[in-house]
Chain A
Amino acid sequence: MNKPDFNAVCPLPISQYPHVLMAHGGGGTLMHRLLEDVFGKAFSNPILDTRHDSAQFTVPAGRLAMTTDSYVVRPIFFPGGDIGSMAVHGTVNDLAMSGARPMYLSCGFIIEEGLPMETLWRVVCSMRDAAKICGVQIVTGDTKVVDKGKGDGLFINTTGIGVIEHEQKILPQNAQPGDAVIVSGDLGRHGMAIMAVREGLEFETTIKSDSAPVHEPVLELLNNGIEIHCLRDLTRGGLASALNEIAEAAGVKIGIDENSIPVREDVHAACEMLGFDPLHVANEGRFIAFVAPKDSDRALQILRCHDVSAGAVLAGKVAEKHMPLVTLKSAIGASRILDMPSGEQLPRIC
């Protein structure tokens, strides 16, 4: 079956080699052409264009934030995004969780021999566009080609540097009793969009990944003086993992209300079908904010003015200093533990 094409294609700048060869990572002319015509062309900026071994740039005085993440998503192109845009959004979002303004990215490509050049170019274009939208520059990078069978098409690592322009202490350890727990929008879209196109599990749906940058609403919260104690993006493991990690770090009990958490109907249906809990499913454009209770309403107002966080809700609060625990008020009003998912999410039998 042909996979649907989710992304527009830009013209490929080098066409004499339709597939990536080992020589494209070998340090010779082929590699030089790949770097110049693909990466250099797409990501061009004054820092990268120096073609030095390391990027040089000036940063404002004060604190910096730095993060790294590797992207191995399958399939490479999925409804709502691809490995390239995700590699930008994911790292930008990790920086945003410190309240940092994202500035520079590095990117490392590990390419399996035989990857269609067209595929690589589409991913690179997607990264270029995502970086432009996020206002970040890709200033350094690396490419390795591995033997056929020794990789899975394409892996990308990005490292990000951002500037912290606020004085707040945004850390998981800083979640405090009384804090309002705000969820920035509906949950579970990325995970279920991927599930729907995974080999062997295909089902018909229009669910698209929520992959998107979230730094703008976060920076606006800070610019408006919202007292933020902790931020966390809701990627693998979903809301359940994020809340448990914070409960653990801060030594607190967090209570949330299942009825308050938005889950789109199609996502809910797919989760029911496969036996998944939407609170365990991955997102790529959602975060939680622990804010001082006095600022909770204002924070919600600000978040709701941005498309990416228009669906923000108050989901619960930090109850007390306690043995780390997350409790959930269930749909029928009873209370239970909300645990981290154990291992990989596997579809249930019946």
Chain B
Amino acid sequence: MKFLDEYRDGALAQKLAAEIHRITTKPWTIMEVCGGQTHAIVKFGIDELLSKQIELIHGPGCPVCVTPLEMIDKALEIAAKPNIIFTSFGDMLRVPGSTTDLLSVKAKGGDVRIVYSPLDAVTLAEQNPAKEVVFFGVGFETTAPATAMAVYQAEQKGLKNFSMLVSHVLVPPAIEALMSSPSCRVQAFLAAGHVCTVMGYEEYFPLVKKHRVPIVVTGFEPLDILHGILMVVQQLESGRAEVENQYSRSVRREGNQPAQDLIRKVFQVVPRKWRGVGEIPQSGLGLAGAYAAFDAEKKYGLADRHVDEPAECKSGLILQGLLKPHECPAFGAKCTPEHPLGATMVSSEGACAAYYRYRRHEATDAK
């Protein structure tokens, strides 16, 4: 397929891997932030091509995985109410809350629907004026413009039967939190290309300056990722710490200004809990005051609900890069994609699911 196969060329991949190998003189630990990159790394076996001195740590960049348990529980409670059409992206439906998941709510008669775009949920609200339509808006800066647009359009259309459960999160505060942790082993980051397509990469300069850590904005195809790793290793080996842009075919320094304007109009930056990590200050987006009428948490009186995470799931350590999925005692035994203990096993972009799907035999051998 054009514009895709070029970035999956086996011979070029081997060349890039050989170049990384050639310039690497000591061990380096690199975190890919985005779950999409984790998925590509494991699916294509990119880490197998790398020098053994390069360790990739899978970061917290899967939006499904970091959505806190209490938010899932709120979603479940709303979805089970009568006269509600509850909508979300496909992956969210499988994520277990404290007691059940959205697919089970659907099985018991709840009207839970997958939409491909938040705007489809707005259309549903228009088509079903006698029902309440709720959209579960999760994701990083990548999906935030589309959710913002949905709220904006709902307001423009004067829809009273549309609301949104918002659990958006932001990448730079997560990198800041990771780098500030005393146990942090990460020496460089591959930043998420799609996040930067929206936001640009100026907000990474202060992080690079403060923590002396290279950050390379990277795409999602095998050659993008290998190229990003090469650029990171070049910086590490030469003692540089800069923001660089590997994904220049999609990312501009200033990002997508109209999308950012919309995000700023509809949302405000709020503290946000990350599943398995805890609360990170200024790391989320919530609806701005002018759009409070569309806030499902307020509409259904759930704003004060708090739920503790289960101790058995080590996804917090995995999301922080302190544990590899197969090192978790529950991996592949008590925790599988069919019976996930935590979100990293649920989402197809979650590190545990990716390991389970593509690397299970190694994990079994290692045990």
Residues of chain A at the chain B interface (Cβ within 8 Å) = 200-201, 259, 265, 268-269, 272, 274-275, 323, 325, 330-337, 339, 342-344, 346-350
Known: A200-B116, A201-B114. A269 touches B1 (CB 8 A): yes
Minimal beta-carbon separation of B66 from chain A (angstroms):
12
Which residues of the partner chain B approach A200 to less than 8 Å between Cβ atoms? 113-116, 120
Which residues of the partner chain B approach A201 to less than 8 Å between Cβ atoms? 114, 116
In the assembled complex, the Cα of A123 lies from the Cα of B103 at a distance in Å of: 31
Contact A272 B45 (CB under 8 A): no
Which residues of the partner chain B approach A268 to less than 8 Å between Cβ atoms? 1, 4
In the assembled complex, the Cα of A343 lies from the Cα of B347 at a distance in Å of: 12
Which residues of the partner chain B approach A265 to less than 8 Å between Cβ atoms? 1
In the assembled complex, the Cα of A350 lies from the Cα of B120 at a distance in Å of: 16
Contact B94 A343 (CB under 8 A): yes
Provide 25 A-B residue pairs closer than 8 Å at the C-beta atoms, listed in order of the A residue. Answer: A200-B115, A200-B120, A272-B1, A272-B4, A274-B116, A330-B44, A331-B10, A332-B8, A332-B9, A332-B49, A334-B45, A334-B46, A336-B42, A336-B45, A336-B358, A337-B357, A337-B360, A339-B357, A342-B336, A342-B338, A343-B338, A346-B93, A346-B94, A347-B90, A349-B89
Contact A349 B91 (CB under 8 A): yes
Q: B residues 331-355 with Cβ under 8 Å of A?
A: 336-338, 347-349, 353
Closest to A345 in B: B90
Leading 4 A-B pairs by shortest Cβ distance: A334-B45, A346-B90, A342-B337, A332-B13
- 14 A-B pairs besides A334-B49, A339-B360, A346-B93 with CB distance below 8 A are A200-B116, A268-B1, A332-B10, A333-B49, A334-B44, A334-B45, A336-B42, A336-B44, A337-B358, A337-B361, A339-B356, A347-B91, A349-B92, A349-B349
Minimal beta-carbon separation of A348 from chain B (angstroms):
6
Contacting B8 at CB < 8 Å: which of A269, A331, A343?
A331
Which residues of the partner chain A approach B120 to less than 8 Å between Cβ atoms? 200
In the assembled complex, the Cα of A326 lies from the Cα of B45 at a distance in Å of: 15
User: Is B272 in the interface zone, CB < 8 Å from A?
Assistant: no
Contact A348 B194 (CB under 8 A): no
Looking at chain A's contact residues, is the secondary structure mostly helix, strand, loop, or mixed?
Answer: loop
A-B contact count (CB 8 A): 104
Which residues of the partner chain B approach A269 to less than 8 Å between Cβ atoms? 1
Contacting A347 at CB < 8 Å: which of B116, B142, B338, B353?
B116
Q: B residues 310-350 with Cβ under 8 Å of A?
A: 336-338, 347-349
Q: B residues 116-154 with Cβ under 8 Å of A?
A: 116, 120, 138-140, 142-143
In the assembled complex, the Cα of A158 lies from the Cα of B353 at a distance in Å of: 37
In the assembled complex, the Cα of A343 lies from the Cα of B348 at a distance in Å of: 11
In the assembled complex, the Cα of A201 lies from the Cα of B90 at a distance in Å of: 11
Closest to A344 in B: B103
Which residues of the partner chain B approach A347 to less than 8 Å between Cβ atoms? 89-91, 114, 116
- Residue of A201, A331, A350 with most partner-chain B CB within 10 A: A350
Contact B143 A349 (CB under 8 A): yes
User: Is B219 in the interface zone, CB < 8 Å from A?
Assistant: no
Which residues of the partner chain A approach B356 to less than 8 Å between Cβ atoms? 339
Which residues of the partner chain A approach B116 to less than 8 Å between Cβ atoms? 200-201, 274, 347
Q: B residues 222-263 with Cβ under 8 Å of A?
A: 222
Closest to B47 in A: A334
Contact B222 A331 (CB under 8 A): yes
In the assembled complex, the Cα of A348 lies from the Cα of B43 at a distance in Å of: 15
User: Is B359 in the interface zone, CB < 8 Å from A?
Assistant: yes
Contacting A335 at CB < 8 Å: which of B8, B48, B349?
B48
Closest to A276 in B: B348
User: Is B63 in the interface zone, CB < 8 Å from A?
Assistant: yes
Minimal beta-carbon separation of A259 from chain B (angstroms):
8
